[in-house]
Amino acid sequence: MKQRAHRVLFWSIAFSGSLLDQAGKYIVFRWLYHDGHGGEWDIFPGVFRIVAQFKTADPNDHLLSPLRTWGGMIQPRVNPGALFSLGVTYAHVANITFALVSSLVVVGMVTWSWRRKSLQDHWLTVALGLILAGTMGNLYDRCVFGGVRDFLYFYWINWPIFNFADCFLVCGAGLLLAKAFWKVPAPEGQADTMSSSAGAAAESK
């Protein structure tokens, strides 16, 4: 019964997190579209703002075009690489590479979550649910937009622009790290999954 409850928690976090990420991206980029010129809105003046940047028009001749043009014909500026724009020099190759890594992470975590001895720890379940949510959120962007849409800007320290999915990945990885230092060792078979999932997800942004 406990394992079933943890599995429900895991999938609730994963799906709600990825939906929140996509809802945030679509809403912000439509709200700040401004005829494709983009815009910004200060949440905490001098510290933190929401920004929407755009690049070129979508040709509207692709199966995925309706998903890309809901906010307008001019497409959002995306990051095809990983965190801190790693790999952005080779945009197309980087996006495909990180999309493949993300796909492997998703498949691996989904498969693992249904194993009989998986998801027996509450905090491990939360951590992996957050990592899966962030991975799925950014994977959608890579498949549909050719890169990740970022809009959260902590400009007080000129931090690279990020999104909700990145927050989920960082929080999930942070929980795994905290658990490794302050909690008892994970049951057999979970430690390897924790390490591989966190590492691969972080690389794929």
b/e burial code for range 83-95 (CB count within 10 A of at least 16 → b): bebebeeebeebb
- Active site annotation includes 42: no
pLDDT (tens digit per residue) in 177-201:
998 887 555 555 555 555 555 555 5
Q: Strands (DSSP E) along the chain, which ranges? A: 39-44, 48-52, 54-57, 74-76, 78-79, 148-149, 152-153
How, if at all, do strands 148-149 and 78-79 pair?
A: antiparallel
Task: Report d(CA 46, CA 34) in Å as an integer.
Answer: 23
User: Structurally, how many domains does the chain consist of?
Assistant: 1
Beta bridge pairs of residue 149: 78
Catalytic residue from among 35, 141, 166, 192: 166
Write out the residue range of the structural domain in which residue 118 sits. Answer: 2-203
Dihedral class, residue 84 (left if φ above 0, else alpha if ψ from -120 to 50, else beta): left
Phi, psi of 196 (to 5 degrees): -65, -40
- Active site annotation includes 58: no
The angle subtended at Cα 89 by Cα 199 and Cα 149, nearest 5°, is 65
How, if at all, do strands 54-57 and 74-76 pair?
A: antiparallel
The answer, as to whether pTM is greater than 0.95, is: no
pLDDT (tens digit per residue) in 80-137:
876 555 555 567 888 999 999 999 999 999 998 888 777 888 898 999 999 999 999 9
How, if at all, do strands 78-79 and 39-44 pair?
A: unpaired
